[in-house]
Amino acid sequence: MSKNSLGLKINGKDYTLDADPNMPVLWAIRDIVGLTGTKFGCGAGLCGACTVHVDGQPQRACLTSLKQVQGKQVTTIEGLTFEPLKRAWREHNVPQCGYCQAGQLMSAAALLTQTAQPTERQIDEAMAGNLCRCGTYTRIKAAIQTASGQKVSQTDARSESEQEAQA
Amino acid sequence: MSQFTAVQNFSRRDVLKLFGVAGGGLALGASGVSWSPMALAQQGTSESRLNLFIAIGEDNQVYLTCHRSEMGQGIRTGIPQVLADELGAKWDNVVVVQGLADERYGSQNTDGSRSIRRGFDKMREMGAMARTMLEQAGAERLKVPASELSCIDNEVVHSVSGRRLSFGELALAAAALPLPDPASLTLKSAGQYTHIGKSHGIVDMEDILTGQAEFGYDVQLDGMLYASITRPPVAGSVLNHLDDTLARATAGVVDVITLPVPIGAPSFQPLGGVAVVATNSWSAIEGRKQLSIRWGKSPNDAHDSQQYLAELSERVKQPGKVVRQQGPVNTDWPKEQTISALYTVPYLAHAMMEPPTATARMTADGVELWASTQTPQSAQQTVANALGLKVEQVIIHVTLLGGGFGRKSKPDFCVEAALLAKQTGKPVKVSWSREDELQNGYLHAISAQYFKGKVGADGVEAILQRSGFPSISSTFNASVDEPSASELDMGFVDVPLSINSLRCESVKAQAHTRIGWLRSVCNIQHGFGIGSFVDELAHKRGLPTVQMWRELLGSDRHETFENQGFTYGNYGDSLSRHPVDTARFKGVIDAVEQAMARQPKPTSGQGWGFAVHRSFTAFVATATLVEVTDNKLKVLKSIIAIDAGTLVNPDRVRSQLEGAVMFGLTLALMGQISFKAGRVEQSNFHDYPLLRMSQCPDIETIIIASDAVPAGVGEPGVPPVAPSVVNAIFAATGKRIRQLPINAHMSV
């Protein structure tokens, strides 16, 4: 391994890594820093499981090298503070297996930071790069709408549950 | 390590320490397949290995073991709900402990939609056992008859006097009591449930929201090495030549290790190949790219899935082996009354978001693994065999699974990690890439089905159906070249059609790759076949499809398939407990029909499609609304209704139905693994796409209220989805799609 001392700022904390500057941020933060909340899904920027924020912008950590984030702020799921979004996630009981959810949350947080009240189409576009094999899309969308103070636009599992309880 | 994977096998004196309970408490476990409970405190020898379902600390925390694997179905929430219900525990006081591989739990194989189906009564019994002991301890403390006490919200309550004692206060005394006779236990009636039937949020939510949830991919051990493995690209090919010079020269690479060649049928053996072991994942991946490998010849080198499917499609048009004959053989097929159709489904891959992964480390006594496995006991057995160890020398910790869908029921990746840990003498994590997962998996079988129906003036008089696909059994016995009975039980021979003549035949099909279970298994192709053909019969009859189904199902009855030339397996359950009940078919049909009627009328270019299917003893009906514009498909709405009897967590049932719709849409719209020259052609999500949010319809889930015994939930939602979509496309356009995936015919 080439001996490079690289400075990295993750979740507001400074790290010095002895790592190849070409190493993708994904593997550096998981294997070296030990923050494993950011997930591997495809290694090719196709699934969004590894989404982190670089200076507030959502980026695929599997395609972003350490040298590309020099002097920049990296935020991972461990450092995500966006309570309205997390509250909405709980309210809609969004995750199934949970594996893709870090990436989903990071993309959703970036969307809501830029667009406080996204339309359904804006949500579809912003979240298009995040795959979920379990099929939590309808709840992710509902949670984003709830977090942004909007009405849920599609059939809401919560109201179905209430109907069931009343029946 | 998050807390649920940190629980070790323990001796009696260690147990409370491991649970973090300072003072002591009650503990119950289940022994062997008979599930007879034992109290830990009753064990004479301090070294006895136990795993527990229930432990109560003096701090009033209730530790409940989930012995089955969490892969998104919500079982780490569901099993504790069942235990907590009979126990009378307060949900806020529940801490979930993940069970290790241990035969004393009974089967831990988390597939076949059976954790609740099979475990419901046993878990309730475990809860009731602990509750009875707590009540007895309370009776002695309060000097009142135990019959006057009840367990409510973590307290033993004497309602006459208003006195109450917390579980924690009674835990030690309860643990010292003799075990109650299981026959003496009184279980709650449905009206008394406190947690069963409640939509508790998933127990791992906070860990997921903070990035602390630990999946197999996330396991990190001190001094651990990371392995990336190049496996044979063609099933059965072996390493002919390896030049690893450049790989070894790659920064961070520690070793390059050739893995043993599998012998005989694939079973759960690793595929062999070459492992690059490094100090981090990236170095292993980069080093692997530098391997120079030549592979030897394989009998499967010529496998071409397109050509194979063409041959299979011809074979199902010829007579096969009769596997069900209801009524007389029909020999008269008048042309004007007969319709026939051929349906095909390609190979499919699991594509769970977390590819297979396992971490192993050698210990003084054997080996210890952390794995995202659906089947810890098979992993334990297979690793023991591979390393020449006894089963009890192999410890398997089950992490959270980033999806499973049947792939993680095969522990080949666990064996890879164990072999490499042994060879390197260091802890090793084996992580499959996406390409590995798609190209070296255990695929869902490619299949063809042929249907012929005779439609008379008064209804359908005869149906002949044939099915052909390489069998999962071929993975375990290389000589198998035809579908097995248990596979044909999945939606092929078990459809209760009330017609004069029904003949089901299977045809031979050789395997050329590892075939495995995929969510709902053979119900995928069989549900697609019958679900599509009934729609075609409806068109011929001039009836709405729901009406065609009602006509075919006939009178309300429990179909037993007697004297039809086969014995129906019914997913391992008895027909008396889980009947093939035509009235319950009609119940979900009615519910979906009514929900459809509440929707606006389809406009031009739109159409509804319908299908119904019973699998894993649950009944599911689905209607899908599509719009086709300029040969581009948009799925607008899905309505899906399930009758799965008693439900533990209705919200998780709904989430499984939502997921089943998306799983079914993915395979119907885009699912295809193809082979050329023996190799899988797809490599990642660009050519094996999954449904994205923008393709996801509005989904309405309907639960049929029922106090019948619990049926399966995880899989039964999938089979009717694909036929409902092609039926909807037919309704919208008049175009009948019989060969999946749909994106071979129109853009999606």
Q: Which CATH entry fits the domain spanning A83-166: 2.60.40.2470, 1.10.620.20, 3.30.499.10, 1.10.150.120? A: 1.10.150.120
Domain boundary among B164, B185, B210: B210
Q: What's the CA gap between B220 and B222, in Å, rounded? A: 7
Q: Which residues of A touch B353 (CB under 8 A)?
A: 39, 41, 47, 49, 97, 99-100, 131-134
Touching check for B634 and chain A: CB below 8 Å? no
Residues 6+ apart with CB under 8 A from B105: B30, B51, B67, B99
- What would the 3-class secondary structure string for B43-55 be? CCCCCCCECEEEE
Q: Which residues of A touch B208 (CB under 8 A)?
A: 95, 98, 101-102
B280: nearest CB among A31, A76, A138: A31
Q: Do B651 and A164 touch (CB under 8 A)?
A: no
Q: Do A78 and B211 touch (CB under 8 A)?
A: yes
Q: Do B211 and A76 touch (CB under 8 A)?
A: yes
Domain ranges of chain A: 5-79, 83-166
Touching check for A125 and chain B: CB below 8 Å? yes
CATH number of domain containing B340: 3.30.365.10
pLDDT at B16: 39
DSSP calls for B274-304: EEEEESSHHHHHHHHHT-EEEE---TTTT--
Touching check for A166 and chain B: CB below 8 Å? no
Asked if residue B498 is part of any domain, the answer here is: yes
Domain boundary among B431, B462, B481: B431
Q: Contact, B360 vs B428, CB < 8 A?
A: yes
H or E stretch at B64 = strand B62-66
Q: Which residues of A touch B687 (CB under 8 A)?
A: none
Q: Do B699 and A154 touch (CB under 8 A)?
A: yes
pLDDT tens-digit map of B25-58: 556 554 332 333 333 333 333 222 222 688 888 7
- B364 and B447 share a domain? no
Q: How many CB pairs under 8 A join A and B?
A: 204
pLDDT tens-digit map of A5-39: 899 999 999 999 999 999 999 999 999 999 999 99
Q: Which residues of B touch A141 (CB under 8 A)?
A: 693
pLDDT tens-digit map of A91-124: 999 999 999 999 999 999 999 999 999 999 999 9
- What would the 3-class secondary structure string for B179-237 be? CCCHHHCCCCCHHHCCCCCCCCCCCCHHHHHHCCCCEHHHCCCCCCEEEEEECCCCCCC
Asked if residue B436 is part of any domain, the answer here is: no
- B462 and B487 share a domain? yes
pLDDT at B26: 58
Touching check for B86 and chain A: CB below 8 Å? no
Kindly report the backbone phi and psi dihedral angles of residue A155, in degrees, each rounded to the nearest multiple of 5, phi listed first.
-60, 130
- B174 and B188 share a domain? yes
Q: Which CATH entry fits the domain spanning A5-79: 3.40.190.10, 3.30.460.80, 3.30.70.20, 3.10.20.30? A: 3.10.20.30
- B177 and B127 share a domain? yes
Q: Which residues of B touch A76 (CB under 8 A)?
A: 211
Chain B CA closest to residue A50: B353
What is the pTM for the complete model shown?
A: 0.95
Q: In the sheet that B394-398 helps form, which strands lie side by side, from edge to edge? A: B253-259, B273-278, B225-230, B428-431, B357-362, B367-371, B394-398
Q: Which two tokens stand for residue B287?
A: 């080093």
Residues 6+ apart with CB under 8 A from B130: B26, B28, B54, B56, B87, B174
- How large is the ipTM? 0.97
Q: Which residues of B touch A78 (CB under 8 A)?
A: 210-212
Touching check for B706 and chain A: CB below 8 Å? no
Chain B: closest CA distance from residue A71 (Å): 22
Number of separate domains in chain B: 3
The parent domain of residue B127 ranges over 3-210
Q: What's the CA gap between A59 and B572, in Å, rounded? A: 48
In Å, how far are B483, B484, B553, B678 from B475, measured between CA atoms? 12, 12, 35, 17
Q: Which residues of A touch B666 (CB under 8 A)?
A: 133
DSSP calls for B343-402: EEE-BB----SS--EEEEEE-SSSEEEEE--S-HHHHHHHHHHHHT--GGGEEEEE-B-S
Q: Which residues of B touch A137 (CB under 8 A)?
A: 662, 691-693, 696
Residues 6+ apart with CB under 8 A from B100: B7, B8, B9, B51, B376, B395, B396, B397, B398
Which of B653, B655, B669 to probe by mutation at the A interface, max A CB count within 10 Å?
Answer: B655
Give contacts of A 33-92 with B, CB under 8 A. 34-44, 46-47, 49, 76-78, 80, 86, 89-90
Q: Which residues of B touch A61 (CB under 8 A)?
A: none
- B624 and B722 share a domain? yes
Q: Which residues of A touch B225 (CB under 8 A)?
A: none
pLDDT tens-digit map of B472-529: 999 999 999 999 999 999 999 999 999 999 999 999 999 999 999 999 999 999 999 9
Which of A30, A32, A66, A134 to probe by mutation at the B interface, max B CB count within 10 Å?
Answer: A134
- B381 and B500 share a domain? no
Q: Do A47 and B208 touch (CB under 8 A)?
A: no
Q: Do B434 and A41 touch (CB under 8 A)?
A: yes
- B450 and B521 share a domain? yes
Q: Do A137 and B217 touch (CB under 8 A)?
A: no
Asked if residue B437 is part of any domain, the answer here is: no
pLDDT at B122: 87
Q: Which residues of B touch A52 (CB under 8 A)?
A: none
- B109 and B244 share a domain? no
Q: Which residues of chain B, if any, have pLDDT below 70?
A: 1-52
Touching check for A122 and chain B: CB below 8 Å? no
Q: Do B220 and A34 touch (CB under 8 A)?
A: yes
- B666 and B708 share a domain? yes
Asked if residue B476 is part of any domain, the answer here is: yes
Q: Which residues of B touch A89 (CB under 8 A)?
A: 205, 209
Q: Do B659 and A135 touch (CB under 8 A)?
A: yes
Residue A1 has pLDDT above 60, yes or no: no
- B313 and B420 share a domain? no
Asked if residue B176 is part of any domain, the answer here is: yes
Chain B: closest CA distance from residue A8 (Å): 18
Touching check for B598 and chain A: CB below 8 Å? no
Chain B CA closest to residue A21: B282
A133: nearest CB among B214, B690, B694: B690
Which of B68, B217, B282, B398 to probe by mutation at the A interface, max A CB count within 10 Å?
Answer: B282
